[in-house]
Structure formats: C-alpha cells, structure tokens
Amino acid sequence: MKKHHISGLSKALLLLISLLFVGALFVPMWQIQLEAPQYPEGLVLRLYANKIGGDVDIINGLNHYIGMATLHTENFPEFRILPYVFGLFSLVSAALIFLSNRKYILIFGLVYVLFIALAAVDFYRWNYQYGHNLDPNAAIKVPGMAYQPPLIGYKQLLNFAAYSIPDTGGWMLTLAFVFITLVLVKEYKFTPKQAL
C-alpha cells in the first residue's frame, strides 16, 4: 500500500502552528476586564502562560474587602507547567512536518482538543474557588453573593461588570486549532483513499 506524504501546504501550516505555540509564550493568553464607576478606565487581569499580569495589586486590594483570596503567580502550578506544554506542542508540530503522516497529525489534534477541554475545566475550577471560598470576616458581606467571574463572556459582580475574553495568546492558540483542523481536512478529505 502506498505511503501517504502530507502536502506542502499542510507542512507550511504545521510550521505556522509550531510558531504560534512559541509566540503564545510571550503574550497574554486571557484577560478579565473589570469596569465600574469608580474605575472609569477599567481594570484588567492578564493571564500569561507563566504568570499573572495587569492590575493585580489593585484587584487584590479590592478582593480583600469582599473576602476573596489574593492572586499570586506562585499559587498556581499551571504557570510552571504551561510553558513546557507549549514548548512540547511546538516541537511536536515541527516534528510532524518530517514524519509526514496524517495519522500522527490526527492524534496530535485529538491531544490538543483534550488539552483545551482540560484547560477550560481548570480555569473554571479556580474561578469557582476564588469566587466562592470567601473569608467570613470580610469587611463587605452580601448574603448568598459569589464573585466568580465568567468562564467567557460577561457577568455583573456587584457594581463591577466583568468580561472574560481571550487575549493575543488565546487567539494564537485558537488559530493553531483552526490550522490543525485545516490540515486534517486537507489530508483526509482531499487525498486518495488508498493513501494511508
């Protein structure tokens, strides 16, 4: 049976995917924007692959009044792991160019989808913990109120409007997913059946 070698277009997309994973290490992946009358310019929390950035000190000060734990990069083991995960994804993407086997690309695509699902669950989990596990001795207490930001989209939290949306790195990772999908469609839909 004839061995299938992936197309030049697929190899070019795999190279771009590899570069996107590297690029995502240097820009914020996600942002949570907070808007309120007393902060007309808004506040933003930026999540990188290896740290928390943005207006962290101001947000931590506000969180203290409602009993939320303060946010510190060292409290999240994900920030120690993610750079290695992205580096590995980048190396695998580059290796797939030389392996030139669509089955390996399919496996890589499935692993990436699993990673996205696990990352979403993990993000929701720590949002939930920070929004619900409140200090009972906090200065401001609203019975039954939780302060969990949305996983994605908009939510009103007291007088703050919270927006949780992808940042530059998040869009790069989304683009990597789109390119992986395009490679798989190209290699499985537009190649002869006998080419395995």
Query: How is 91-126 classified by DSSP, letter by letter?
Result: HHHHHHHHH--HHHHHHHHHHHHHHHHHHHHHHHHH
Collapsing DSSP to helix, strand or coil, 6 comes out as coil
* Predicted pLDDT at 47: 96
pLDDT in tens, 47-79: 999 999 999 999 888 887 888 888 899 999 999
Cβ proximity of 179 and 112 under 8 Å:
no
List, in sequence order, every residue forming a beta bridge with 47; answer none if it has no partner.
30, 52
Check whether 101 has a pLDDT greater than 70: yes
Residue 196, pLDDT > 50, answer no
**Secondary element (H or E) of residue 62:** helix 56-66
pTM over 0.85? The answer is yes
- pLDDT tens digits for 118-141? 999 999 998 888 878 877 777 777
| pLDDT grade for 157, boundaries at 50, 70 and 90 | confident
Element (H, E) at 187: helix 168-189
The kind and range of the H/E element at 156 are strand 153-157
What's the rounded mean pLDDT across residues 73-102?
95
